[in-house]
Chain A
Amino acid sequence: MLTSATRTDRSVVGDRTRDPAPAVVDLDGFTVQPLEPGHAALVVDLLGCRGNRYVLDFPADADTVAAAITSIAREPWSLPLGAVRDGELVGVATTALANLKSLNAGFTALFVDPPSAKLPLAMMVRHLFWTFPLHRLYAHIPAMDLTQEYVDLLTSVGFINEGRLVDHAVIGGQPFDMVTLGLLRPDFERWCAAHEPRLDLQS
């Protein structure tokens, strides 16, 4: 049985003396920053891009978006983030509906140009895992041509396609499947080691 003295010794000599992983919010011209209610008009513009309105079915007025940003930021383990490049908002992401027992949270991301958003997405995912003790992120994307680029984007940073929620969404009066995607912390750490060591959480 461990004694308190043993535990004290272990904490002193164990490998926890290594340096903590730093926050990584600036990389290759991209900056990750908190999304604030004052950014609402920019988010409204983002909702109008490509298939974004199908990814996030949300009223496109700035007041509603500002209120939502405020509300989400008050929830446990929720952190609305924006990705900026050359002074322009290129994307947003947030966790929501965190489950504090199972250490998971829903994840939503929107970008102006999803095919070119791999690095800012990975930076935001990394910052969420760096900030909260989450074990898993999950996302639901409508199974339609206009949103396939989000399935491709999320899987490009380690999310796994876990199947479908059949007919769960109704878009334009028609039922659509939702693709379910999940990302475990250890899988993301492996992805970073293999593809983007600058985002390593274990350094």
Chain B
Amino acid sequence: MSSAVASASIDGQRAHLEPAAAVDPAVLAELDWSRALHPAMAGWVVRPSVPSLGTVLVRDRRDDAVVGLLDAVEMSGYPGVVNVSIYADGERGHAGTMLEAYGLLVTQLFDGGVRLVHHEVLELNRPIQRILRGIGVAPTARLVEHAYVAGRFWDVLVFAFGPADWDRVRSTVAPRSPVSPPPSVEGGS
């Protein structure tokens, strides 16, 4: 995976992405705690002391508020395939900003030579499933009782897409820019 993903900050219209390694650990810890309390989020149990190169913090440029985290980690055994996880702090709103941040990150991943972006989504996380299906990406596997979250085991759905799919999304689903969310997903988590 290209380390360029997190080696420098990225600015969109509303989103500001900065490498998590450069962020105050207390800010990350607060986000991780919020994430750990959300049933749909299967985040870190204990975040590594040094965040991975693919972890970026997302702020809203309008008020500098921290609105979420994106983790991009190359899958073990699959060079060029990057598992991206999204945490949007629902308490803080800014869903559109997170979607813009996601678009910026994915674009940068593909520009850096990544072959596939891979998502593992809890079966209970319907908002993310709706977004992925909305951009034409269908699940290809259901990992039965693969994740222990909120007191029980849940199935995990696997989605993946490549640069050609992303180009189609940019040109058809979000034609104004790769980071402009369609109105229907505003307010999602």
Partner of A180, one of B79, B116, B141: B141
Q: Does B61 contact A (CB under 8 A)?
A: no
Q: What is the chain A residue whose CB lies nearest that of B154?
A: A102
A100 to B141, CA, bound (A): 22
Bound: A152/B145 CA distance, A: 22
Interface size on B (CB < 8 Å)? Answer: 25
- Do A166 and B140 touch (CB < 8 A)? yes
* Surface stretch bound by B, among A30-38, A44-52, A167-175: A167-175
A10-35 contacts to B (CB < 8 Å): none
Categorize the interface residue count of chain A. 20 to 34
Q: Which residue of B lies closest to A161 (CB)?
A: B141
* Number of A-B pairs, beta carbon distance below 8 Å: 64
* Residues of B131-154 contacting chain A, CB below 8 A: 139-148, 153
A sample of 29 cross-chain residue pairs with beta-carbon separation below 8 angstroms, ordered by A number, consists of A57-B77, A100-B45, A101-B148, A102-B146, A102-B148, A103-B148, A136-B146, A136-B153, A162-B144, A163-B140, A163-B142, A163-B158, A164-B140, A164-B141, A165-B141, A165-B158, A165-B160, A166-B140, A167-B116, A167-B160, A168-B75, A168-B78, A168-B81, A168-B160, A170-B80, A182-B143, A182-B146, A184-B144, A184-B145
Interface residues of A (CB under 8 A from B): 57, 97, 100-104, 135-136, 138, 140, 160, 162-170, 175, 180, 182, 184
A164-B140, A180-B158 are known contacts; what are 6 more A-B pairs with Cβ within 8 Å?
A104-B146, A136-B146, A165-B140, A165-B160, A166-B140, A168-B81
